[in-house]
Structure 1
Amino acid sequence: MNHSAVIFIFTFLLAGLEALPNFVLLFADDLGYGDLGSYGHPSSFTPNLDKLAANGLRFTDFYCTSAACSPSRAALLTGRYQTRSGVYPGVFYPGSKGGLPLNETTLAEVLKPLGYATAAIGKWHLGLGANGTYLPIHQGFDHFLGIPYSHDQGPCSNLTCFPPDIKCYGTCDVGVVTVPVMHDDTIVQQPVSFPDLEENYVNYATNFILKSAQKKQPFFLYYPSHHTHYPQFGGKEAAGRSARGRFGDSLYELDRTVGKIIQALEDSGVLNNTLVFFTADNGPELMRMSRGGNAGLLKCGKATTYEGGMREPAIAYWPGKIQPGVTRELATILDILPTFAGLAGAKLPQVQLDGFDMKPILFGNGVSERKAVFYYPIDPSETYGLFAVRVGKYKAHYYTRGADQSSTTPDMDCSPSAVLKKHDPPLLFDLEIDPSENYNLATPDNPVSKEVLEMIQGVKKDFEMGMVFGESEMNKGRNPALEPCCKPECTPKPSCCTC
């Protein structure tokens, strides 16, 4: 770290003695690297996020830990790979018996001892369990308003997704209860009214900010949006506003939410004492074609370990603290917990963490402590281990596989017909000159590749030696009786669960 960066951080920390910083963590769903205007999309209408990027720090090399929803969310909130917490393979469903284990320490639980008010608003997707065992209010959050899993995990063919009465595109999951909205551990609406959902969320979020500010209480707002996951939806202020169709409208509604949250921070007088961080859980669901997201120049998308599946847009915004700019330093969602904890002066959990404090990157244009990124598939196992490893600018693929969620593109490597394939020697790409992973460097006529692969293999070996897989929460199975119903004793289920 350079001398000016040290002085900046020291000054910042001294100022922080006066008031603990607030944190707003905005987490998009199935958003591609190329979906925002600030990341190069020509027709996305994202003025608020673009303003955040222009006035904050935009990351070019920021990663999730899994190309699927639940495992990425577990890693985000715990600072630990999903393999350690057991949030694998795949995702949780309405009747899942498991969830994010209660002995895992979430970011909310890290901040609570310091007096933080905490709220989770939006998509939880880390389990429901018997009697709401795994809901946010049992994981360090004072308040929860949202859907306990993904909003496509219930029948939606007859539901309205856009006003005045535009039905949701597709059928979503069938044979389960309709999607509920919960306040803390109580169902307040079933099925969800999609056109009203985001407005209700925003009102709750801004009220939480204003009340916390009035009490002079530091706060942590976790806003895991449903946007832009399928089926796309939006309210009257978003419908028809984008040149990018229904996906664009959904994305625009997310952008409006960002603008309203920033406005609430400003109105309550806490904007200059609040770190706002925006990123997403995994890459775009390309199988939806124009109704899905876009990975830009990156290869493939959701459910793959190619760059399009796991490299995400990310923006850090803090007026007066974070200087506007662009960083090419490596960082991941694992790094958010130790960073927020470090800024608040909170104690870290006494467990193996996989994240690094990003303060050197955020303040003073320093160098990242993270030197490697590890890519697990959505169904990790000790048998196969890591599918890919990035060290510096080089990425080695030990296994590759396509996926249904990344189908429909001309690139057959993304298709489910591209079955699991082991590579010996591994495929090797220079992500600085070839971010699209087109040109394999591991060829006999490239003498550098052997040395680089040996270096990466050493990093991979060290990491895997320290990885202890937790018991799989998904493998605990499902029980239809656990599906949330606003009329618990009604019959016949699931059709009677309507309030």
Structure 2
Amino acid sequence: MDHILLLYLNVFLFWSCTASPPNFILIFADDLGFGDLGCYGHPSSLTPNLNRLAEGGLRFTDFYCTSPVCSPSRASLLTGRYQTRSGIYPGVLYPGSRGGLPLNETTIAEVLKPLGYATAAIGKWHLGVGANGTFLPTRQGFDEYLGIPYSHDMGPCKNLTCFPPDVKCVGLCDVGTVTVPLMHNEVIMQQPVNFLDLERAYSDFATQFISKAVEKETPFFLYYPSHHTHYPQYAGPEAAGKTLRGKFGDALLELDNTIGKILTTLENTGVITNTLIFFTADNGPELMRMSRGGNAGPLRCGKGTTYEGGMREPAIAFWPGIIRPGVTHEIASTLDILPTIASLSGAKLPQVMLDGVDMTDILFSHEGGKRETMMFYPTDPNEKYGLFALRLGKYKAHFYTRGATHSSTTPDLACPVFAVLTAHDPPLVFDLEADPSENYPLRLEERPDLQDLLERIKKVKEQFEASMVFGESQLLKGEDPDLEPCCNPQCHPKPVCCECSPKAV
């Protein structure tokens, strides 16, 4: 315990002496599997900067997102609340969606703003656009935004270039809608976006934002939800063809390059020892894309499912001099990032029901986590079925199982869409420490010692579901083609006329 007390003393002394509250950088990869990074066991991923974070920081082995698809997972990350509370279900938001993250939900950026933090977001928002930009980041506590406001496959990409010199994007993506736009704040700067130049724009924006905040002696929060490892992958000249892992590996390398540029900027501005960098991902790999879809490592299935491969994610916390290097097996979640940032910054928590817990004990001592449970909702949660699965300590109970289109092509018959909804009573129970692949359900009838566990699981499930108030579904509000972002709003015929040349940011 002496080393823990000493660490806490060092943290206290650091905060007492520093003139500025800590800065926060939150990097959120897209469709990244538990086994996709070299520091998590992939033999041919080239990610030197993520490896640096893992070697010099804290690597999580049991870290979870809250949904196996994009929009609901992002809502939980930014609000510390399950997506069922905010109404970001079922499925994901689209360019013409009428709904979005409700403005009465409080994001991490809005938690930090009263303390004078500069806030910026770059990359994939995917929490709604709405009429006149109602749901964009600039309406949710962020001073600035540069990015594509939804998935970069949500527009026709047949003739777009994803790799130099002129390698076209794989697949058609979504047809019959506007091409994907690049937005600065609430203005479309380019449509369609130039994928080959996108990462340079992001890294330049991040560098300028950090440098400006440091110059003004202002604490900052930078949120970077990357597009890269989502299909179709893309990469510019600095990363294309540079890895042994093909297009997916090249895209991952380009994301890693930007992380490297952010680290260099923190070093050059002298604030790297006063900045917490947290890296994780929104959901598991899209296995239907095969080698272009990511890798779940030893975990079962992937995106779209409530098996471990769909919702257990790589996660790394890096803070030189404050977080000592190591590995933690404590259960933690994207839900916990908001209350942790609030605790570290001294910000007030939102006066709502939060599902996240403060994980500073894990960051500083690698143990003592406050989270014993994790709840697993499907892509289309509803009150009739409730939870699909629940983790309690090292045990995970599946009340329902179902495959998903996103996890098709794998030889495991539990993963594809053809694995129909199946109820389990009693639930399928797995010991995740012994069997993280969820291959061998415990024989409950042969284990009388597990009856108490079943009763605890049942009680925890009942208590949680009794506390869950489903918010109005934002997805069921439907879509309106007129809401699709168009740089030429009065042009005709849409959507093909929605094109514009690049503007300077």
Q: Shared fold by TM > 0.5?
A: yes
Give the share of equivalent positions with the same residue, in percent: 68
Residue 453 of structure 1 and its aligned partner are, at CA, apart by 1.6
Partner deviation per Cα, 1:192-247 (whole Å, 9 max, x = no partner): 10111111001000111111111110000000000200000000001001100000
| Partner Cα distance (1:139, 1:151) in 2 | 21
Q: Which residue is equivalent to 1:461? A: 462
Q: Which residue is equivalent to 1:9? A: 8
| 2:364 matches 1:363 | yes
| 2:375 matches 1:374 | yes
Partner deviation per Cα, 1:405-436 (whole Å, 9 max, x = no partner): 00000001001110000001100000000000
CA contact (8 A) 1:286 1:301 kept: yes
| Partner Cα distance (2:150, 2:315) in 1 | 23
Q: Which residue is equivalent to 2:240? A: 239
Residue 446 of structure 1 and its aligned partner are, at CA, apart by 2.2
| Partner Cα distance (2:452, 2:243) in 1 | 49
Partner deviation per Cα, 1:39-80 (whole Å, 9 max, x = no partner): 000111111101110110000000000000000000000000
- After superposition, where does 1:47-62 map in structure 2 within 5 Å? 47-62=48-63
Partner deviation per Cα, 1:91-129 (whole Å, 9 max, x = no partner): 000000000000000000000000000000000000000
| 2:450 matches 1:449 | yes
| Partner Cα distance (1:365, 1:73) in 2 | 25
- After superposition, where does 1:19-418 map in structure 2 within 5 Å? 19-418=20-419
- Aligned in 2, Cα 1:466/1:10: closer, same or farther, shift over 3 Å? farther
Residue 12 of structure 1 and its aligned partner are, at CA, apart by 1.7
| Partner Cα distance (2:265, 2:14) in 1 | 23
CA contact (8 A) 2:121 2:224 kept: yes
Alpha carbon RMSD of aligned pairs, Å? 1.0
CA contact (8 A) 1:33 1:313 kept: yes
Range that drifts further, 447-456 or 242-251:
447-456
CA contact (8 A) 2:161 2:195 kept: yes
| Partner Cα distance (1:483, 1:10) in 2 | 52
Residue 3 of structure 1 and its aligned partner are, at CA, apart by 6.1
Range that drifts further, 210-219 or 15-24:
15-24
CA contact (8 A) 1:356 1:369 kept: yes
CA contact (8 A) 1:283 1:310 kept: yes
| Partner Cα distance (1:7, 1:105) in 2 | 35
CA contact (8 A) 2:10 2:322 kept: no
CA contact (8 A) 1:180 1:189 kept: yes
Letter in 1 for 2:82: Y
| Partner Cα distance (1:150, 1:365) in 2 | 34
| 2:479 matches 1:478 | yes
Letter in 1 for 2:50: L
Letter in 1 for 2:143: D
Find the residue that maps to 1:373 and give its secondary structure: strand
Find the residue that maps to 1:203 and give its secondary structure: helix
| Partner Cα distance (1:484, 1:88) in 2 | 22
Find the residue that maps to 2:451 and give its secondary structure: helix
Letter in 2 for 1:305: T
CA contact (8 A) 1:441 1:449 kept: no
Letter in 2 for 1:414: C
Aligned residue-pair number: 498
Letter in 1 for 2:487: C
Partner deviation per Cα, 1:381-426 (whole Å, 9 max, x = no partner): 0000000000110000000000000000000100111000000110
Query: TM-score scaled to structure 1, two decimals?
Result: 0.99
Find the residue that maps to 1:330 and give its secondary structure: strand
| Partner Cα distance (2:194, 2:451) in 1 | 56
Structure 1's unaligned 5+ residue stretches are none
CA contact (8 A) 2:328 2:367 kept: no
Residue 456 of structure 1 and its aligned partner are, at CA, apart by 1.1
- Aligned in 2, Cα 1:13/1:350: closer, same or farther, shift over 3 Å? farther
Query: TM-score scaled to structure 2, two decimals?
Result: 0.97
| Partner Cα distance (2:156, 2:435) in 1 | 42
Partner deviation per Cα, 1:416-466 (whole Å, 9 max, x = no partner): 110000001100000000000000104422223322221111111111111
Find the residue that maps to 1:444 and give its secondary structure: helix
Structure 2's unaligned 5+ residue stretches are 501-505
CA contact (8 A) 1:301 1:405 kept: yes
| Partner Cα distance (1:379, 1:409) in 2 | 22
| Partner Cα distance (1:203, 1:261) in 2 | 9
| Partner Cα distance (2:39, 2:447) in 1 | 36
| Partner Cα distance (1:6, 1:69) in 2 | 39
Find the residue that maps to 1:481 and give its secondary structure: helix
| Partner Cα distance (1:209, 1:103) in 2 | 28
Partner deviation per Cα, 1:262-302 (whole Å, 9 max, x = no partner): 11100110000000000000000000001110000000000
Q: Detail structure 1 runs of 4+ shifted over 4 Å in the superposition.
A: none
CA contact (8 A) 1:5 1:360 kept: no
| Partner Cα distance (2:175, 2:366) in 1 | 49
